[in-house]
Structure 1
Amino acid sequence: MTAATLPRPEVFSTEAAGPERVKAWEAHNAAQLIALSCDVPCNAEFEAAEVNLELTKAHLARVSGSKHKVIRTRDLIESDPAHAYAVYATLRGNATLEYSGHTRVLHPGQVMVCDADLPIARGFAHGLEELAIRVPKELIHTTTGLDLLAEPLIFDARADGHARALMHMLGTALDAGIPVPPDEQGLIELVSVLAAGPRTSSALRHRVAARTYIAQRLHDPSLSAAGVAAAVGLSERTLSRVFAASGMSVPQQILGRRLDVAYALLRARPELTTAAAAARCGFWSYGYFSQTFQRRFGVTAGEVRRLAHGSSV
């Protein structure tokens, strides 16, 4: 059996690029996220860093930088089309958004969804820290039927549960301490709900609500399909049908996410025992945890822990 692994975040910084920092930043983003032109004020020193996480279909990043402006021009779009939607969640510093003759200011806690192949500019007068996602358009279309997003959509995570759940998912995936890769299908569905709005089917909304509820309670050994169904206002049978449409059952979703969290925990905190990691992830039976962990990853939990412990010495 081939051992499965979880993707790890990778860090890029302009620090080593010297006077070519802006060019290095542009080249990195063109390769990892979306091609952008970077404009830095005269005589200002530019510094930026990015934590990148490449999933099977989507790409995540945590971006920080000094004062600058990024522009997605028509020429860049023609030469390097993204064929994707981009999501930006502001963590620190206001972002001035310019598109189609409009200007908006995004504040910390706000989330923007946009078509990456429409001209746009974003300025960061006092630097920035944000979370970013690139999701192929075809995935959003397949999930919702959405063909066009004519202008950026802006959400406030304090008032919008989907935006709040997305920020939490990204923050967890790119956490410097214990990064836990997200449920990619759940991530795509969350972005889909934000992008499509009222055109989203009730089944998709219920599935997103259920996935969010599960993610928040993985540590609870009593978490069950019946409890999830009650929390989202559906019968257990109806919720089962909602999940079946995505090729997964509710118990499979709970188990899969618990195992992923346990793997990430053991890789980041090898001083923990495997039993302690299992308990933290809501497993009531250590034997069941050990069996399902090895089946899922092709290695034992102890082997993951020992390998991580050896690399941290």
Structure 2
Amino acid sequence: MGVLVARSPDEWAQVITDSFVPLSLGSMAASFHGSVHSSSLGSAATLTDVRTYGAQVVLRTGRLVRREPSDDCLFSLHLDGEGAVLQGDSGAEWSRGGGALYDASRPYELHFRTDARQLVLQVPRDQLRDRGSQVEGAYGRGLPAGHPTVRVLAAYMRELVDTCGLLTGDQRAELGFTAIDLLATAVRAVVGEGSGVPSGRAALLASMQTYVREHMSDPRLTPESLAHRHRVSVRYVGDLFAGAGTSPAAFIRAERLRAAYRILTDPRRSGSTVSAVAARCGFTDRTTFTRAFVRAYGRTPAEVRGASSREA
């Protein structure tokens, strides 16, 4: 997408809706004007350079969420200006070199009190969840400029936005996965530091979930082996996962399918056959894998890979 420019409230509302998700304006300075320049990073992400001149309030209202839902997360890296992001009970002032993560499936507000520039990385929520990020605790919170992981992420995003026009589609897609990896690392580091150390049942459940993610390629991974590994009964394992709204078998299957989806949409792994992807993610045969994948995503693994190749 090229540069889109707006000089009126109606034009700006349309530009930001087309560039991100459906949005509306709460207010805007009379002399306001702005521009966006979006670069596709394959099927996994979009990086957008947003420059605005004059105060404004951007709203993702409850009505818009209900009418036009989205499962995307947006991370705004703030380069210049003053303002704040609000979502739910959380809020953070923009800080130069820092940023904030917000969730398009829930209402939010973006306040800009001055001219501003931001780089916005938009990714499907599952892309962060698949990387073990504690996204639910991060929405509306600031990722401070001084944190080492945020500094690395910020430097990468700045360089990427400056060079996107020189890259091929495959190169942008590959670097897009790296951007998501860096964002996930920053979220884990910042949110983990502020959330305290889980204990008791929560700690045991977290340990089991981590173990599943690290051993999902093992076809012998089952609720029974999980119970044996953590020296508790199968019934207790079931109770722990039930408290998180799922079952151990469903969690294992979902993690395997998410990992498979990531591989199938990753251009770096386009040489892997569907059977090889199934085996790598712990499925013992391709037929079982394909049936489970279709139930989860509504398309076959081959269709997902083909669509991803065309988008890249």
| Short-chain TM bin | 0.5 to 0.7
- 2:157 paired residue among 144, 153, 170: 170
1:153–1:195 CA contact under 8 A, matched in 2: no
> Within 2, Cα distance between the matches of 1:98 and 1:135?
19
2:101–2:138 CA contact under 8 A, matched in 1: no
Specify the alignment match of 1:120 in structure 2: 108
1:173–1:179 CA contact under 8 A, matched in 2: no
- 2:124 paired residue among 133, 136, 158: 136
Specify the alignment match of 1:293 in structure 2: none
Moved more, 167-176 or 54-63: 167-176
> Within 2, Cα distance between the matches of 1:179 and 1:193?
27
Does residue 48 of structure 1 match 2:40?
no
Specify the alignment match of 1:111 in structure 2: 99
Deviation of residue 131 (structure 1)?
0.7
- 2:67 paired residue among 79, 91, 116: 79
- What TM-score comes out, normalization by structure 2 length? 0.54
Specify the alignment match of 1:184 in structure 2: 176
Specify the alignment match of 1:61 in structure 2: 48
1:47–1:65 CA contact under 8 A, matched in 2: yes
- Structure 1 145/111 Cα, relative in aligned 2: closer, same or farther at 3 Å? closer
Aligned length: 192
Specify the alignment match of 2:306 in structure 1: none
* Contiguous gaps of at least 5 residues in structure 1: 1-8, 16-20, 205-245, 253-313
> Within 2, Cα distance between the matches of 1:177 and 1:30?
22
> Within 2, Cα distance between the matches of 1:147 and 1:105?
19
SS at structure 2 position matched to 1:51: strand
Q: What is the root-mean-square deviation of aligned Cα atoms in Å? A: 3.1
1:30–1:36 CA contact under 8 A, matched in 2: yes
Deviation of residue 96 (structure 1)?
2.2
Write the deviation string for residues 50-99 of structure 1: whole angstroms up to 9, x where unpaired. 11101212011010112211111111111222201110011110112333
* Contiguous gaps of at least 5 residues in structure 2: 193-205, 214-261, 269-312
**Residue type matched to 1:31 in 2?**
D
- What TM-score comes out, normalization by structure 1 length? 0.54
Deviation of residue 161 (structure 1)?
2.1
> Within 2, Cα distance between the matches of 1:23 and 1:99?
24
- Structure 1 124/147 Cα, relative in aligned 2: closer, same or farther at 3 Å? closer
